[in-house]
Structures are given as C-alpha cells and as structure tokens.
Amino acid sequence: MANIPHLFFAFLATLLLSNCGTVKITKAPFGKTSDGQAVDIYTLSNPGGMEAKITNYGGIVTQLHVPDNKGKPGDVVLGYDKLASYIEASPYFGCITGRYANRIAKGRFTIEGTEYKLATNNGDNHLHGGDVGLDKKVWTVKEVQGVGRAGIELSYTSPDGEEGYPGNLNCKVTYWLTVQNELEIQYEATTDKATHINLTHHSYFNLAGAGSGDILNHEVEILADKFVPTDAGNIPLGDLASVKGTPFDFLTPHTVGERIGQEDQQLKVGKGYDHNWVINPTGKGLELAARVTEKNSGRVMEVLTDQPGIQFYTGNFLDGSNVGKGGKIYKHRNAFCLETQKFPDSPNNPSYPSSLLEPGQTYRHMCVYRFTTK
C-alpha cells in the first residue's frame, strides 16, 4: 500500500517527461584541421523546435535555430558554413573563449612573485587566450544525456606554458540543449599550478536572423547598476562606474541604437558598447543578467549566470569582411555578444572578483541562454 503514491508519482513523472519529448543528438564529419585532425559537428535538437550545431573545433556553435512567435525557426548566430573558414579568420564566432576571455593589460600578470608573459595579440594587450586560444583547439567529445536534456561534453588539456599561462589546465565545457529551449553551458577546470582563468562563450547573436541586418532595434535589459569603464585599448581604468544617467543604464529596456551614437567618452573608447557590466547579485546563485527582445520575430533571449560580469559587445568591429553562412555578409553592428565572465584584466586588479585558480580548486561557471517568444 505504502508504495502506491510513490508508483503513481513515478508514472506521472514518466508521462510528463515523455510528453516533453527528448533532445536528440546526431554527429557528422566537419572536415580536418591543417595538421590533419578530424573534426566533427554535432546536432542537438529538441521537440520545441530548437536546433544547435556545435563543432569540437573550438567548441563553436555554428548554428542555433530558434522558433519565432509564429513557430518558424531561424538561425540566430553568425558563423560560417565550412570549417576552413573558421580556421582561416574568425572574429571568435560562437567559440569557447579562453584561457582568459577578454583582455589582460600588456599580456602580463604576477603570481607569488613570478611574472608570466602572455601573447600580446590585441595591440599591446592579451585578448581571448592569445594567438592560439581554446577557440582554435580540437576538443575531445562525449555525448551526455540528462532528464529533459542532452548535450556534448568537450574536454581539452591546455599544457603548462601554452600561450604563456602557467599550469596544465584541464578544461571541461558541456553544452546542453534542454526541452525548455535553453542552451546551457557548464564550465569546469582544474590546474596543477596557480593560474588565471576566465572562460566564456562568444556567440554573435542576431535575434532577427543571422545576416538580416543590424541589431540597433533589439531591445536590451542588463540587470546591472555598475559597469567597468575602460581606456581606448579596452583595458579597465580600475574603479567601477555607476550606470545612472548614462547610456550604459539598461536597467529598463532600451534599444541598442537609441543612445549608441551619443557623445559619451565610454561609448567613444568602446566604439560603441564593448564593456563589462557588473551583474546585480540577488544571492540566488544563477542570476538573470540580461534580456534581449527582437520585436519583429518576437524572439526573446535571457542570459542567466553565476558569474559576476557580462560583456556586452555590439559588433563594432564587424566591417563586412566576413562572408558568412549562405554567402551573407556581416556588416558593422549586425550582431551582439553577451559573454558571461569575470571582469577584464582581473589578474591586475586585486579589487575585482579573483580569477586565480589554484591546485586543488575547481573553476566552475554556468551560463544559460534561454529562448522564449512574445
């Protein structure tokens, strides 16, 4: 008798789950790197009409199909059709970015009296892990299943000294597609020497569809009272600034284009929005950091994370030189990135949340891109 309620709930749970359907995974070859490593592409699809294509070269999300408010799917990320194009030149389309996403001033940091010199691949500064960052590595893949979700777990060990960073860094990044139209990314890393780490995901989104024009009419909310002002090399000045009374206040919704052309010193140095916002902590662990709405398609994307910052970049450096999927040309401000992360140059700013990872510790980071319509 005691087991009847239990059985009933188990039956109900199974029924509910089967109603939600499952997330499917398929795999196909995607070509070879110049040194002959075979690369695959995985397709994750759910019953809600979402489909993600992800390659183990750089963990790049090459396609992300999301339904609009009429149920019609559209690809909302910029990218290329072929692996060779990613290898040739990519402004970090859809990749896993690291070991340190964003910039480190002069490519230098000091840990316990030892100075480490990293590649300076962005003027005098270090950007997105250096010359050959995690975005250009072939990752090992394991397919994974969970309740109402399926995904791929990508692993890569960055050897001690790679791009100048100390420590053998074991990285694991899992992309999940859920039945609730979420792309969830879980990051984990361990090291055998103290090092700095800041991983992120670098999709260039256009919720009206990749290659459909600029994102100036997208409406943006960022739940942050403060942001990180920078110099013209995008290096933090140090102190955090209040968004109040500035074009950086997205506490209430504003379109990207509304204030981007204003006379503002920070918009000038960023050539538009290219800054890290300090997410208001509510203590929930996974915070809602940002919400973007595209009115014509009705697509809404929410970004949730446990990280302290989010880089909002409005594709200011896109200049039409990238011929993307289906021959579409990506021009100035044709996409935006929302990258959950620590603040830029944290290794040289002791007052920022620390990016130091020591042996015995585990770096963890969670990011959810959640899609709905209205």
- CB of 65 or CB of 103, closer to ligand BGC: 103
Contact 352, 342 (CB under 8 A): yes
Of residues 128, 196, 202, 365, which has the active-site annotation? 202
Q: List residues near ligand BGC by CB under 6 A.
A: 91-92, 128, 234, 274, 311, 313, 317, 337, 339
Q: Give dist(CA 360, CA 32) in Å, integer.
A: 36
The residue at minimum Cβ distance from ligand BGC is 313
Catalytic annotation present for 128: no
- CB of 183 or CB of 318, closer to ligand BGC: 318
Handedness of CA 210, 39, 87, 152 (dihedral sign): positive
Q: What is the dihedral of CA 17, 285, 42, 211, to 10 degrees?
A: 110
Exposed, middle or buried by CB within 10 Å (0-12, 13-18, 19+), for 277? buried
Q: How far is the CB of 310 from ligand BGC (least distance, A)?
A: 11
Of residues 162, 184, 287, 339, which has the active-site annotation? 339
Tokens of 309: 């910052």
Q: How far is the CB of 200 from ligand BGC (least distance, A)?
A: 8
Q: How far is the CB of 321 from ligand BGC (least distance, A)?
A: 13
- CB of 266 or CB of 311, closer to ligand BGC: 311
Q: How far is the CB of 298 from ligand BGC (least distance, A)?
A: 27
Contact 54, 60 (CB under 8 A): yes
DSSP of 272-327, one letter per residue?
A: SSEEEEEEPP-SSSSEEEEEEEETTTTEEEEEEESSSEEEEE--TT--S-EE-GGG
Pick the closest to residue 236 from 270, 204, 208, 259 (CA basis): 270
- CB of 32 or CB of 271, closer to ligand BGC: 271
Catalytic annotation present for 202: yes
- Phi and psi (nearest 5°) for 144? -130, 150
Under DSSP, is residue 26 helix (H, G, I), strand (E, B) or coil?
strand
- CB of 46 or CB of 62, closer to ligand BGC: 62
Q: How far is the CB of 162 from ligand BGC (least distance, A)?
A: 19
- CB of 87 or CB of 141, closer to ligand BGC: 87
Q: How far is the CB of 342 from ligand BGC (least distance, A)?
A: 13
Strand-pairing partners, residue 121, are none
Q: Which residues are catalytic?
A: 202, 339
